[in-house]
Amino acid sequence: MINEFEKRKLIAVLTIDKPEHAVPVANALAEGGITAIELTLRTGAGIESIREIRRCLPEIYVGAGTVLNCQQVRLAADAGACFAVAPGTNPKVIKEAAEIGLPFAPGVFTPSDIEIALECGCKLLKYFPASSCGMAHLNSMSAPYRHLGIKFIPLGGINLKNLAEMLSSPIIAAVGGSWLAKPDMVSNLKLDEIRANAQAASEILKSL
């Protein structure tokens, strides 16, 4: 999971209301150079959207986001999700993902969160919400644990202006961004806009 994210660097965070929008949006992102997607489970279309992307675009590294309980872990795995992430650190959810073999990154914001995640065997952690305190907080908070080889995925408040700064840190595996395909872009299938956003981000990634 860490290798996949370090290779792709940027994860498009999507919220989709209609499963039929999933493949066109994912394809537009891929055409722009972004091939990792976190599909949030904030709507009833999330699981089916993952299934459709895996069926039609197997080259996309797509996973489930906003995974809050064990049932969602199982549903994501059954849909073919490559990974799952959560906004917080729930040991029961982490254990369920481990038992069924679904790569999982819990969300952290405090040293206690990190220690719980480490105790559960997690080395890739979602830093959320990154916009609240930025890299200064993450650098200070993670310092006592860096020798353990942990990596982070910041989400929340990432954009073209701070993308390069976030990715320049050695503790960052990848970052997540919802600006690439905002809900209104998805629901109205603004594919040219989504593709252009992905291309602009890809140009920055190439320069790193």
For residues 60 and 90, the answer to whether their CB atoms sit within 8 Å is no
126 is catalytic: yes
Spatial distance between the Cα atoms of 183 and 192, rounded to a whole number of angstroms: 15
What ranges make up the beta strands (E) of 26-73? 36-40, 61-65
- Of 52, 96, 126, 151, the catalytic one is 126
CA angle 37, 206, 208 (to 5 degrees): 100
Q: How far is CA 97 from CA 33, 69, 125, in A?
A: 29, 10, 14
All residues at 6 or more sequence positions from 10 whose CB lies less than 8 Å from its CB, including other chains = 34, 36, 163, 174, 175, 176, 177, 180, 201, 205
- Of 4, 9, 38, 52, the catalytic one is 38
Sign of CA dihedral 97, 93, 126, 72: positive
Burial of 100-127, coded b for 16+ CB within 10 Å and e otherwise, reads eebbbbbbbbeeebbebbeebebebbbb
38 is catalytic: yes
Active-site annotation, residues: 38, 126
